Amino acid sequence: MASVIVHEQSKQFHLTNGSVSYIIQADKQGKLLNLYYGSAVPDRDDFSYLVEYQHRSTATCRKEGDLLYSLEHLRQEYPEYGTGDYRRPAIIVTQPNGSKITDLQYSSYTVSKGKPSFEHLPSTYVNDDDEAVTLDVTLRDQMLSLIVVLHYTIFSNSPIIARSATITNQGTQGLVLNRAMSLSLDLPDCRYDMTDFIGAWARERHPQRHGLHTGIQAIESLRGASGHFANPTALFSRPGTDEIAGEAIGLAFEYSGDFDLHAEVDSFDVTRLQIGINDFNFFWQLDPGASFQTPEALIGYTSEGFNDLSHGFHDVVRNNIIRGPWKNKERPILINNWEATYFDFDEDKLVAIAQRAHDVGVELFVLDDGWFGARNNDKAGLGDWTPNADRLPNGLTRLARRINDLGMQFGLWFEPEMVNKDSDLFRAHPEWALHTPGRAMSHGRNEYVLNFADNEVVDNIYEQMYSLLSSANIAYIKWDMNRFISEGYDITRDAAHQGELFHRYILGVYSLMERLLQAFPDLLIESCASGGGRFDMGMLHYSPQIWCSDDTDAVERLNIQYGTSVFYPLASMGSHVSITPNHQTGRVTPLRTRSNVAMFGTFGYELDLGKLSDEEVDEVRRQVRLFQDYRKVIHRGDFYRLLAPYDNRKAAWMVVSSDRRRALVGDYKILLKPNSPYTRVRLCGLDPQTVYSVTCTGPSTISGKHFSGVELMRIGLVDTDASSGEMGGVNPLGTTEDFDSKLFIVEAVGEQQTE
Ligand code: GLA
């Protein structure tokens, strides 16, 4: 059970839930300090021995009247600029006289059950008030009447703490907020590796692990979206930590715009972690009476390896971020026509693709790009959300009905934030595309970004989408966003407000999603940004699943989905089986491997089954049935990474139902090594006492045998590759090939016999 233990005398606050402790104190100068963050420790009346006020060198900047007091040497919770702490501050406020100096002092606190939600931003929520406790600590700058409330929510059954800040100008003069981090945390040493999740289009979220060193190590976005380049998440782990053992801290940002996530190691080996809106081009007018709410940051801690930390984040995403009916409803297996047709389709062709998919059990048909406006190629049509008269002369209502008549749900692609110059919307409102007056506009894929910081623009797109979604039975939308902001300038606001554009833009996106969900509460939104260019916890508040990557190659997907799974649950990862040779890599992989990878996600197909042989169609039918059987385990169970794919040899992962009775192990060979070593993979998360049957979908010497959970976890599951190096049917276990894979189906059959 989560609690906040308050020691009034020492002004110490101990947030704990039995697994973690987070201890802070308002010190003698009114500064809020961090005393401890890590595994739960028993409470004591006074932890202030952890604050070391020491005499340091002459170069130290001290408080007048207290030679031992230097902000440079204190581990603070919301540090400020210009008063002796020379590290990056959490907040900078510019005042009418140009000064940026503030002095925030502890003023008061409140503790409440549960957690309040934010109005215009995504945030975690509780399902009942016992699920979390929230501590609000109020800091005040006396001279400016500036109030900063730091919010801390600790969850009862999770190692996650949510942090954010509300900054209010209670004075009579206008202030400018130049920096407002969501979380700042000073750790007492720097023996950490930082793992960030970096990449590019078609190779998103590849883990990159590096030791911390003195100075700043940062990832960030200046694109207007979280981006492909770096995900707004990172791990900070002790050097030996691996998937199953060791200490680690995870940081995640519940925000989809420009972010800054960094670690700063100072001269005394203190590590300052910060995450928040990127202040590079951010300034916000804080008028008298106005408040600014920072987005929420999530911080998690484990002493039991990365898999355990992932479970904490997965649970929070599934239980406290994803909302609405799709939170608990089974996600449909879908077929998407993009790689099957691109722009070359008509109603009958689409219905035929849907029919063939329905015949094998697929549940939702998604019509991708090309159905609207004058969208005959990617040069025209974005912004005009009415059916394309050439391709769909009978409109969407009839198409949706024909799909529904097959017994399938119907879904549709949109790219609401973009416009083509060749569109009625642009012709009527060229000024709605973001541009800097007098400067050329850059484009990406012939697209220009609409000014979502302008409510009039958002209203227009809402009206168009509302009437389209009302016109047909549309159960799902794929919300795409294929380029980032350039020449960012808000022509509706004056110079003093230009620093607000990027944040207001993403608030506009959130508001449109929220309005659509209010109007169509059963709608399932799958977010997408040229694949996984906006895969973050902010988006997951509106769209329970996100297209992981435009790269549908199974081998590439191992890398992408492995990295994505560190912070995000399988139920959030859009993953499809596509045709070979693969459209992004030209690689030919077995159909079973494409499915064995895509199954560890939302699952679906992006091909025309009419192009497959009868045997392949039968195989697809079996895949769909298997997924349907294990969907609950995959989407609600605990996922474990077992063997990372990044050396291009082998990879393995598994998912276990919460009652530990059923599990599915994905075991992947990347490049074939003839006559390769004998291998075992140790499973995780099973019940040691339970006996399980193991069935393998590929060649295996152990298929059909029974093992106890403890054997599978301690000795391991024998997964030796059957490729002996002699092709041509010599091997009784059959031949295997590059990119082969197996699924091991693990089912409880009884309790372990005790002697
Ligand atoms: C983006 C998406 C793809 C597809 C195309 C359509 O690239 O990521 O899945 O929808 O747009 O133009």
Query: Angle 541-40-197 (CA atoms, 0-180°, nearest 5)?
Result: 40
Contacts of residue 678, defined as CB under 8 A and 6 or more positions apart, other chains included, come to 718, 720
Query: Angle 418-333-633 (CA atoms, 0-180°, nearest 5)?
Result: 120
Is 413 touching ligand 1 by the criterion CB < 6 Å?
yes
Residue pair 397/468 in contact (Cβ under 8 Å)? The answer is no
Percent helix / strand / coil, the chain, rounded to 5:
20, 30, 45
Q: 533 C-alpha to center of ligand 1: Å?
A: 11
Q: What is the pLDDT of residue 729?
A: 66
Q: Could you give the dihedral angle defined by the CA atoms of residues 116, 122, 127 and 128, in that order, rounded to the nearest 10 degrees?
A: -10
Probe target for ligand 1 pocket from 413, 477, 481, 582, with the most ligand atoms within 8 Å of CB: 413
Tokens of 747: 């089912």
Q: Whose CA is nearest to atom 1 of ligand 1?
A: 530
Tokens of 651: 């990879």
Alpha helices in 303-394 (DSSP H): 305-316, 338-341, 347-359
Task: Give the C-alpha separation, 102 to 93, whole Å.
Answer: 7
Q: 221 C-alpha to center of ligand 1: Å?
A: 21
Q: What is the pLDDT of residue 728?
A: 67
Phi, psi torsion values for 20, nearest 5 degrees: -130, 155
Is 480 touching ligand 1 by the criterion CB < 6 Å?
yes
Q: 588 C-alpha to center of ligand 1: Å?
A: 22
Q: 589 C-alpha to center of ligand 1: Å?
A: 22
Probe target for ligand 1 pocket from 336, 341, 342, 369, with the most ligand atoms within 8 Å of CB: 369
Terminal-to-terminal C-alpha distance of the chain: 38
Task: Give the C-alpha separation, 177 to 290, whole Å.
Answer: 11
Probe target for ligand 1 pocket from 367, 368, 447, 584, with the most ligand atoms within 8 Å of CB: 368
Q: What is the pLDDT of residue 117?
A: 84
Is 417 touching ligand 1 by the criterion CB < 6 Å?
no
Is 482 touching ligand 1 by the criterion CB < 6 Å?
yes
Is 530 touching ligand 1 by the criterion CB < 6 Å?
yes
Q: Which atom of ligand 1 is nearest to the CA of 478?
A: 10
- CA 473 to chain CA mean position, Å: 29
Task: Give the C-alpha separation, 460 to 356, whole Å.
Answer: 37
Identify the CA nearest to 505 among candidates 529, 484, 477. 484
Cα distances (angstroms) measured from residue 268 to each of 73, 75, 184, 213, 322: 8, 11, 17, 12, 41
Residue pair 162/14 in contact (Cβ under 8 Å)? The answer is no
Q: Quick check: is 480 catalytic?
A: yes
Task: Give the C-alpha separation, 691 to 751, whole Å.
Answer: 5
Tokens of 698: 């590929």
Residue pair 21/40 in contact (Cβ under 8 Å)? The answer is yes
Is 531 touching ligand 1 by the criterion CB < 6 Å?
yes
Task: Give the C-alpha separation, 504 to 482, whole Å.
Answer: 19
DSSP-assigned letter for residue 421: S
Tokens of 268: 């005394």
**What is this structure's pTM?**
0.97
Q: What is the pLDDT of residue 755?
A: 45
Q: 412 C-alpha to center of ligand 1: Å?
A: 12
Probe target for ligand 1 pocket from 527, 528, 602, 607, with the most ligand atoms within 8 Å of CB: 528
Q: Computed from CA positions of residues 599, 600, 603, 608, in that sequence, does the dihedral angle turn out positive or negative?
A: negative
Tokens of 90: 């959490």
Task: Give the C-alpha separation, 202 to 552, whole Å.
Answer: 8
Q: 403 by DSSP, 3-state: which?
A: helix
Residue carrying structure tokens 């100096």 = 101
Residue pair 500/461 in contact (Cβ under 8 Å)? The answer is no
Q: 609 by DSSP, 3-state: which?
A: helix
Biggest CA–CA distance in the chain, Å, is 87
Residue pair 473/484 in contact (Cβ under 8 Å)? The answer is no
Is 551 touching ligand 1 by the criterion CB < 6 Å?
no
Full DSSP string of 434-450: ---TTSPPP-BTTBEEB
Residue pair 381/375 in contact (Cβ under 8 Å)? The answer is yes
Is 369 touching ligand 1 by the criterion CB < 6 Å?
yes
Q: 342 C-alpha to center of ligand 1: Å?
A: 9
List per-block mean pLDDT (blocks of 10 residues) for the chain, which spans 755 residues: 96 97 97 98 96 86 89 97 96 98 98 93 97 98 98 96 98 98 98 98 98 98 98 98 98 98 97 98 97 98 98 98 96 98 97 98 98 96 96 96 98 98 98 98 97 98 98 98 97 98 98 98 98 98 98 98 98 98 97 98 98 98 98 98 94 98 97 90 97 94 96 96 74 81 96 59
Q: Whose CA is nearest to atom 7 of ligand 1?
A: 530
Q: Quick check: is 550 catalytic?
A: yes
Active-site annotation holder among 196, 384, 550, 719: 550
Q: Whose CA is nearest to atom 6 of ligand 1?
A: 369
Full DSSP string of 231-280: EEEEEEE-TT--SSSB-EEEEEEE--S-EEEEEEE-TTS-EEEEEEE--T
Residue carrying structure tokens 């995504």 = 122
Tokens of 610: 């009419």
Q: 369 C-alpha to center of ligand 1: Å?
A: 7
What count of Cα atoms within 13 Å lies in the side-chain half-sphere of residue 376? Answer: 5
Cα distances (angstroms) measured from residue 208 to each of 184, 204, 330, 456, 664: 22, 12, 33, 42, 27
Is 640 touching ligand 1 by the criterion CB < 6 Å?
no
Q: 625 C-alpha to center of ligand 1: Å?
A: 28
Full DSSP string of 58-112: TTS--BTTBTT--GGGS-BSS-BSSSS--S--SEEEE-TTS------EEEEEEEE
